[in-house]
Structure 1
């Protein structure tokens, strides 16, 4: 059995810590696996959120063997279609880790079970759908709201920024322009401006003084 160098051992141990953090962050939908490519015959040394049913000590995957055979093999292969042994669809990302000599010594793999997300997508799709056949078009916001937002966008564009990044003096100048254009006569104008700028209505009132 090939004995890993101190550097290779350190890389794998640090990768285990990264995998644990990613596993906790993306639990329970993402399986995170660490492969020790120095020992391909029992490459899996850590597995979090076990979705595939594999265990530590199992051998390297096809990608792992490809990296072992060729140091020029891509380091990052992201978002490729995969599947678990029971046929569940998976979105996978495999990241190869090299040592200072340029040899692959480990890999970090992320496997996301798409089954739940597919069901959730269907539910959300039904929830947000509307009945076009009803033939009714309605807006619950005041007439002129779009015009106010458009004026704000144009004002910010002239300053080379976005509405939510406007500084206090910029907002005061904006309020003067909106008043002069008659935009502030629109019902709930203060609320519309505040929402578009990402500030409170009290801030807008102060800027308008």
Structure 2
């Protein structure tokens, strides 16, 4: 097929898109295929392909989505994270970005296809690794009373319509007074637990407790 001559503007746009694709390809390797389509020539649209996961080649035709953009300039410019599938059946997550010229016509598309099969396999392995056996053993490796102390702090913050980390200095001092009166500060390593839960230093907690 004889290619029509690109305008200077279109050539500049395509050159920039190819540079972007090359950078994305290096950044997202090896799990993401990055493809540049020239929508002006749908029968041999692929201009560049990085991390080739689909088995396609430069000069292969546009996809159905590309043809839809060619037919309708109002077709969505960004389609993100939609389910897709490679030719060999592997599941993918794809994002397609249509590129327009100054006249509002689609001239190119930048597409990313993520192979999600490996990630799902890793997720399954991590889930199996982290799942505890349900053999009736009930043990905690943290010091006694830490969870009840955190829950009391959470209730205090909720009553003020805020979060433990967002408490002001005067509110933290009121909290420490309440914890002292209710006996929570007598718990082992209570000040360390309070500091961690509030997201402040132990020195700040000791100062607020004065």
Q: Could you say whether these structures have the same fold, taking a TM-score greater than 0.5 normalized by the shorter chain as the test?
A: yes
State how far apart, in whole Å, the 1-side matches of 2:31 and 2:91 are. 12
Q: 2:37 aligns with which of 25, 35, 38?
A: 35
Residue 181 (str. 1) matches residue 182 (str. 2): yes
Displacement of 1:169: 4.9
State how far apart, in whole Å, the 2-side matches of 1:159 and 1:6 are. 61
State how far apart, in whole Å, the 2-side matches of 1:49 and 1:202 are. 52
**1:32 to 1:197, Cα distance in 2 relative to 1, 3 A:** farther
SS at match of 2:119: helix
Does the 8 A contact of 1:35 with 1:43 survive in 2? yes
Q: Which runs of 4+ in 1 moved over 6 A?
A: none
State how far apart, in whole Å, the 2-side matches of 1:204 and 1:51 are. 54
Q: 2:116 aligns with which of 114, 117, 134?
A: 114
1:82 aligned residue: 84
State how far apart, in whole Å, the 1-side matches of 2:13 and 2:156 are. 52
For residues 39-58 of structure 1, the aligned pairs below 5 Å read 39-58=41-60
- Once the two structures are superposed, residues 34-75 of structure 1 have per-residue CA deviations (whole angstroms, 9 ceiling, x without a partner) of 212123233222222222232333221121111111122222
1:136 aligned residue: 137
The normalised TM-score by structure 2 is 0.83
Displacement of 1:168: 4.6
Does the 8 A contact of 1:4 with 1:38 survive in 2? no
1:150 aligned residue: 151
Query: Could you list the runs of 5+ residues in structure 2 that have no partner in the other structure?
Result: none
Choose 171-180 or 97-106, whichever is displaced more: 171-180
Does the 8 A contact of 1:19 with 1:32 survive in 2? yes
2:166 aligned residue: 165
CA RMSD in angstroms, aligned pairs only: 2.4
Residue 6 (str. 1) matches residue 13 (str. 2): no
1:24 aligned residue: 26
State how far apart, in whole Å, the 1-side matches of 2:8 and 2:151 are. 61
State how far apart, in whole Å, the 2-side matches of 1:99 and 1:163 are. 51
Kindly tell me the number of residue pairs found equivalent between the two proteins: 208
SS at match of 2:41: helix
- Once the two structures are superposed, residues 169-191 of structure 1 have per-residue CA deviations (whole angstroms, 9 ceiling, x without a partner) of 54344333322332212222122
Displacement of 1:108: 1.5
- Once the two structures are superposed, residues 104-123 of structure 1 have per-residue CA deviations (whole angstroms, 9 ceiling, x without a partner) of 12212111112211221221
1:93 aligned residue: 95
Does the 8 A contact of 1:30 with 1:113 survive in 2? yes
Query: Could you list the runs of 5+ residues in structure 1 that have no partner in the other structure?
Result: none
